[in-house]
Structure 1
Amino acid sequence: MAEATPAGSGAAPVPVPSVDGMLRIRGGVGGLSFQFEELLAGASALDGIVRELAAVDEEAEAVRRALFPYQYDSYTSGSNAITAVGEAARAVRRVRTELERLGSAVRASHREYEFAEARNTLILRIGRTGPAFGPLWGLFGLPPVTLLDTVEDGLDVAPERLSRLLGLPAGQTGSGGPGGGVRDAVRGLTDAAGLDFLHPRPVRIIGRDTWREEADVSPAGLLLRAEAVGRDSGAIEVLRLGESGSRAWAVIFPGTQLDGLPQGTNPFDAGGIAEGLGYDSAETAAAVRRALAEAGAEAGDQVAAVGYSQGGIHAMNLGRDKAFLADYELKFVLTAGSPVGGIEPPAGTSSLHLEHEADWVPGADGQPNPDTKDRVTVTLTSPIPGPEWLGPGLGPGHAMGRYADAARDVAASRDPSLAASTAALAAVVGAGGTATVTRFSLRREPMPPGRGGRPGAASGLPREENSPRGKLR
């Protein structure tokens, strides 16, 4: 996190998001929250030193008093010794007092930073959503209101946003209610009459294909694998990396696939979105756990999860599955264009999230990604040519090509948060080389006879560009 006010200027430092070219970076070791943690850690360290100095002061006073009886043996030397110990104790006391003052100042600085950050967040939200402020927002030198911002702030219309995301008529997603959020809205949707086909159903493995190849395990390479997997309906990939004793695994999830009716058996159709946002991907996570076991993963093995769009939801939700975490160690999650702000990874899991400011999909859960030490969010600010907005799909900001290009920039960046995040990914997947790849075909259990939503409910859905099967990601 950079500071807008130069050191030594006399003004209070103002933290601003780090920017590297077209990448706006939030979170990680350079993030504001981690700096807050560092301030408090520094204050706690000072407190420890103050306690030690207090003990030294007390001990020095005890020594000084112990010298009193010896003053009569040699008045001059005895007096000098007593005086020297007393002066030393006073010097320790002065240092202790200064450190106490410094610790209090650090805590006051932390409080001021937190207050300023909360105030700025409130003003930004008012500016984005208030009808009197929004159009004039850029005139005050503040960041422009983006499509992603607008969607994240649109919690009052969460059901309508979900309708668009799921390709269903507006008004059929129920009401999240104040504070209920997208999760409640999704659950209300799946319980609605005629939409029970969106309720999670068991996911099973129906086939697999294994081969060996040279694998690019850079962030861009892994995201391009997710794009390739998305061309195979209902498939995921499991990569075995490294040798015996140091092996690790990468699980690759595709984006949303709508190549059939939503009542169908593809686990990555509209029902997959509902399962991910409303039910923590429980059925998909169980299938991934079985796939890893079939690929040869053993208890305690490290896993990196990668997902695009809907796939990023499932990747993050692996960290919520207690059975998965009991078997494997989820070390890293990479997402692109995914609404995962409300999913908290477990302790020890690093994550990197790519979003484009013109992509509304990452904001579909109504929550920005938290700013923490182990969680880095990169917002792409690259301009999009006007004609691209006329194309099919969920908008040009959601295009995988842009995210792959951004992932290459991330890997080359010297920003401390990005450098630490890409190093954490490399610590799991290594530098690449020959990998054993297993592509699993997954299918959701079919609807029981006599049930299901209205035929053709998904008609009129937008189709993503360059997708021969009309898959929407």
Structure 2
Amino acid sequence: MTATPDLTPIPFPPGHGPGGIAVRGGVGSIRFQWSELGHGADLLGALADELREILHQCGELQWRLQMLLKSFEAAADGAGHAAVDALDGARSALSRCDAELRDSAHRIDYCRLAYEAAEAMAQVAAAAAHAGAGLIEHDLRRLIGTANAGHFAEPVPLSLDRVPAGTTATVDGTAAGMLQRIGSLDAEGPGVFEVLKVQRPDGPVFVVVLPGTQGTTAAATDNPFDPTGIVEAVHYDSTFVADAVHRALAESGASHGDRVMMVGYSQGGMHAANIARHPQVAEDYSMELVLTAGSPTGREASGDGTYLHLEHADDWVHQVDGTANPDERNRVTVTLAEPADEVPASEKGLGPAHKLSTYLAGAETADASVHPSLVATLGVLGSTVGGRASAQRHVFRVRRVPRRDQTAPPDQRVQE
């Protein structure tokens, strides 16, 4: 068997729309295509085994027929000999098919192994490049430990209260439509998130929308979405935020097995990725989709459901974890390349590329793309939520339960 380099991944354009987009992961990714080739090689091998069994049965049948013909007169053998010849021809055809199937399976496997070897070398190089990042993270953990000793960054349980708000909202089952909901939270004040209940013919869908970082103080406030909330997301798996979301889903009418979607921007996206894998949430609900924008989620393992991450090439925030999102079938990362619009110096915050408006424009580009990974991922969103639909709106405010020895400074809004 000679391997030939005629097995190459199917090329797809990097993206469509203004400025273009780069897409990693999903059904259109190279990694997925190669995994499918490996699966195909296994199927071809199994089919070749079945053909070989049929080949043996044909040989046994041919031998039995030849033995039977010996007991008949030569003049009466015409039909029998024709049957023997037909079986012999069938065996030859089956033998050729067996050889071709096995050769194809070996060639596919050879190419897959060559790819995996190259990927392993690339991972070794990447690990060496990120060796310094591990030292930085070690020092960061020590710093956080010191801060926790003074109760500056250590997360605490949260109270959950309903906020009087409009009881209905219109939900658009697109990436841009989901991110628009984050903007609607700004008017509700700090520490607020919403749960949208969309009634579908096959049962309700609950969409949890989480805001970005709120406030500028380095000390913990009563708002779990202040800058110290990032510590809970990174080092505590969003333990208390996840518990609050779990309680909010129950208060919003969610029952065991109901479908849930998580939508988060910046810090909210970090919480969203953690909540999707939270044991209570994963056990009680069916996680359909996690949508994040401008969030460092590369270190978060994938849970059930589909993931869509929006990242801007000029946004440094999603890069602070030093790790790219996994390239997996159910996890798609869209890198936006369109230059971000400039904003006044007083509104720069964490930079123009990190603005929610920048990600809204990028989400519209992703919605318009025909890249197979995005078509499949956004198809989950569209089929689950539907087009423009009316939703029951449940709004909640979470607060950290104050410590006796800690006075929380007032919260301030930050422009991300």
Q: Aligned pair 1:20/2:22, yes or no?
A: no
Greater RCO structure (CA 8 Å; 6+ sep):
2
**Within-5 A mapping of 1:269-284:** 269-284=226-241
Name the stretch that deviates more: 421-430 or 303-312. 421-430
One-letter amino acid matched to 1:441? R
Identical amino acids, percent of aligned pairs: 34
SS in 2 for 1:209: coil
**TM superposition shift of 1:316:** 0.9
Give the alignment partner of residue 146 of structure 2, picking from 175, 192, 214.
192
Distance 1:117 1:389, change over 3 A: farther
**1:419 aligned residue:** 375
**1:392 aligned residue:** 348
Contact 2:58 2:87 in 1 (8 A): yes
**1:250 aligned residue:** 207
Deviations 1:403-443 (A, max 9, x none): 00111111111111111111111222221221111110110
SS in 2 for 1:248: strand
Deviations 1:188-232 (A, max 9, x none): 443215553211210121332241132334211221211332452
**TM superposition shift of 1:42:** 0.9
SS in 1 for 2:390: strand
Distance across 2 between alignment mates of 1:351 and 1:216: 18
Distance across 2 between alignment mates of 1:401 and 1:84: 72
SS in 1 for 2:254: coil
Contact 2:276 2:290 in 1 (8 A): no
Distance across 1 between alignment mates of 2:12 and 2:369: 18
Distance 1:245 1:46, change over 3 A: closer
CA RMSD of aligned residues (A): 2.9
Q: TM-score, normalised by structure 1?
A: 0.78
Distance across 2 between alignment mates of 1:252 and 1:341: 20
Distance 1:389 1:344, change over 3 A: farther
**Within-5 A mapping of 1:47-66:** 47-66=45-64
Q: Aligned pair 1:435/2:391, yes or no?
A: yes
Contact 1:304 1:428 in 2 (8 A): no
SS in 2 for 1:351: strand
One-letter amino acid matched to 1:192? T
SS in 1 for 2:164: strand
**Within-5 A mapping of 1:139-154:** none
Distance across 1 between alignment mates of 2:13 and 2:326: 13
One-letter amino acid matched to 1:110? R
**1:104 aligned residue:** 106
Distance across 1 between alignment mates of 2:203 and 2:172: 18
**TM superposition shift of 1:305:** 0.5
Contact 1:263 1:452 in 2 (8 A): no
SS in 1 for 2:221: coil
**1:447 aligned residue:** 403
Q: TM-score, normalised by structure 2?
A: 0.88
Distance across 2 between alignment mates of 1:287 and 1:384: 34
Contact 1:352 1:421 in 2 (8 A): yes
Deviations 1:117-137 (A, max 9, x none): 4445667898xx6xxxxxxxx
One-letter amino acid matched to 2:242? A
Aligned residue pairs, count: 403
**1:93 aligned residue:** 95
One-letter amino acid matched to 2:156? R
**1:305 aligned residue:** 262
Distance 1:376 1:213, change over 3 A: same
One-letter amino acid matched to 1:104? H
For structure 1, the residue ranges without an aligned partner over 5 or more in a row are 1-8, 130-151, 160-173, 176-184, 459-468
Deviations 1:12-60 (A, max 9, x none): 6696873324211111110112101210111111012101101111101
Distance across 2 between alignment mates of 1:379 and 1:290: 34
For structure 2, the residue ranges without an aligned partner over 5 or more in a row are none
Distance across 1 between alignment mates of 2:249 and 2:158: 14
Distance 1:357 1:121, change over 3 A: farther
Contact 1:227 1:255 in 2 (8 A): no
Give the alignment partner of residue 40 of structure 1, picking from 16, 38, 41.
38
SS in 2 for 1:67: helix
Q: Aligned pair 1:409/2:365, yes or no?
A: yes
Contact 2:270 2:296 in 1 (8 A): yes
Distance across 2 between alignment mates of 1:388 and 1:64: 87
Distance across 2 between alignment mates of 1:288 and 1:294: 10
**TM superposition shift of 1:390:** 8.9
One-letter amino acid matched to 2:291? L
SS in 2 for 1:196: coil
**1:287 aligned residue:** 244
Distance across 1 between alignment mates of 2:13 and 2:263: 25
SS in 2 for 1:442: strand
SS in 1 for 2:178: helix
Distance 1:470 1:109, change over 3 A: same
Distance 1:378 1:58, change over 3 A: same
